[in-house]
Structure formats: structure tokens, C-alpha cells
Amino acid sequence: MSEEAKVREISGLTPTISIEQKTVAHNPRSTVGTITEIYDFYRLLFLSLGTRMCPNDGTPMTKKSHTEVIKYIQSLKNGTRIGICAQIRHNFGSSEELRDFVGQKGFVRYMVDNRVYNLSDELPKAIIDPWIIVDRVEIDTADSTQLDRLSQSISTAFEHGEDVVGIYQFSDQKVNSKKQKDFMEVFSRAFRCPNCGYVPPELTLSHFSFNSPSGACSTCHGLGSLLSFNEASVIDTDKTIEDGAVLPWGQDSYYHFVLTGACKAHKIPVDIVYNKLKKEHKELILNGSDQKLSLSTPQMQKPWNARYPGIIPYLNRVYHDPETSEALHEKIDPFVVATTCQECLGYRVGEPARNVLVD
């Protein structure tokens, strides 16, 4: 056996992370965090302590256990009347369908827009925020049997509410109010948005790694940026179209003739410097048009129909095409620029991880 510790407590020591120095690799997937492995601690931090947010409306998503729901009910004042409710996540064509749905489940009361209805009552005019009332209970701490009843009702509500339970508080003042949403406490035993019902996937450490297929942004594949082309990189704004304003296309190239034909068809002057053209004309030059044009070149006198693809879509397609020749790549490489990925905004990871926040 080990010797007994000679101290009972040590306090006041500054937390320390030991980092092993490694040779720096010039790799776009390597950062200070990944090289020093501090990023592993960040991933664990966000997985363990992060708050999941709904990507649709930014609502925090938490999950509560069966025991936590019971503790909440027990924290209410003695004599409080509550309804244990199951959320309804079905779409109904009419109020009759909603009423029949509740009856088929074996219940006699339901709530729509925070108003209670019996199956025999007049139907609600509109279906807004429907709930099944599984049980109604008046809190009585002296009743030893009430805990079992609460536990069973909560289990039933979780089952019929697709893991979402609402605890509704009744009082004369609240019943007469038209809007009583503040008195419904909602619990979910799975991560789920209480507003829109969004259910996120289960997260693991790999979801927080931009070097993992399951964690990387699906658009930039974990790089945080995309290699593409923009107006500044492919256009000489001080030149005219006929003088070669579109830099990657020489004046004797096929696409230069296609561009010239498109300009003629859309009445875009080719003898005015680019920066003085109209905004819509610049847009067509950059991003193309679906209109098929009748074109001809000095080498091919017979006209043919072709669509002008736009300089930027054309270059993006050619650059990312694995069949593109090395010679063509070398020709267009000088015009490539790195732009921040608009999907992840440079954060590199996918949507589930981006919606986990640490206060």
C-alpha cells in the first residue's frame, strides 16, 4: 500500500497545461492549437460544458431527466394545481382531427393556445401550440402516494410527447388570461428546441474537429476558406472589353469571342472601360447568362449557338475539374484568391459544432 499523504489539502496552485514542442508543419490543416494539442482540450471543453443552440432561432437547447422534472414539481408551493402535458408534434388538417387524435390516445383533455378543452367541448378555431393533458394534480406534500403518481404521469407524458413534457400551472387569474405561455415550464429529455422542435444529432469529440469528416464544414471541408475567383482578381477595371479587360481570356481566345457576342446581344458597350459600365452589365460579364447566342469567330465563319457562362463560374468549374490540364491550371492559377467560407464563416467545423457555445 502507498504511504499516507503528508498533507490534507493543497490550494492556490495555478492550473497548468503541459505542451510538447513539435516541429512546425506547413499544412493548411495545421494550426497552433492542433500542433500543440491545445485544440484537443477545447474540443473536450465544448463537448462537456457547451450549451447547444437551435440553428433556426438561437434558442438554448437543454435536456432534463425524469428526476429533474419531479424535483421541479416538488419545488412548487403546496396547493399549486398543475397539468402534466405531452407536446403534440403532428400536423392536423382540422380541429376535429386533433380532437380525435387525443381521444384515440386515451386522453380526455387537451390544450390549444394555452386554453384547456375537453373532448366534448366546442372545438378550437385554430390549432396553435397543442398539448395533451396527461394528468392534473394539486401539489400535496403530505400525500405519500403522490410521488408515484407524478412519476408515472411524467413517464406517460414523455412517451406521448416525443420526449417533451410541459408542466402547466393553473390558477383563476391564469385561466382567464388569453395568453398564459409564461406559466408552462417545458422539459425535454433529449436535446430539442422547445420552439421549432429541431432535434440535433448526438455529438462526439470528432464533431468538433475540422480534420474529421464528421466534424469538418461540408462546404470548405475544414479549411475555413475556399479557393475561387472574384472581380478584383480577373478584371482590369481600367481596360475595355475589346482591349482585354477580362484578364484570363486573351483577345484571340474562344471565350473572348463568346463574351463579345454576349455583350453585343445585351447591348453592353465593349469600347468603354469596365469601371464605367452599368452594374447589371458587370453582373452579366462576371456571372453569365442563360440566353443562347448566335456566335462566330474569324476562324469559324459559320455561326453556332452557345451560352455565355460568365468568367467566374467558368474559372471555378475549370479550376476544380480534375480533368483540367496542367497547362490550363498554370494559366489560371495567378487569378485564384482565398475567400472565407460563407457556410462556416471561417470556423471550419460543421453546423452542429458551430451551434455549441460556452459562456
Q: For cell 375537453, name the residue.
A: 118
Q: For cell 440553428, name the residue.
A: 55
293-347 confidence digits (pLDDT tens): 776 666 666 767 778 888 999 998 998 888 888 888 888 889 999 889 999 999 9
User: Higher pLDDT residue, 355 or 20?
Assistant: 355
pTM of the predicted model as reported, rounded to 2 decimal places: 0.57
C-alpha cell at 212: 474529421
What is the pLDDT at residue 281?
93
* Superfamily covering domain 63-188: Ribosomal protein L1/L10, rRNA-binding domain (3.30.190.20)
CATH fold match for the domains 63-188 and 228-340: no
The class level of CATH for 228-340 reads: mainly alpha
Question: What is the CATH number assigned to the segment(s) 24-59+196-216+350-359?
Answer: 1.20.1580.10
Dihedrals φ, ψ of 324, to 5°?
A: -65, 135
Closest CA to 82 of 5, 10, 187: 187
What is the pLDDT at residue 299?
62
Domain ranges of the chain: 24-59+196-216+350-359, 63-188, 228-340
Closest CA to 139 of 131, 125, 149: 149
159-202 confidence digits (pLDDT tens): 999 888 999 998 654 444 444 444 788 888 888 887 777 888 88
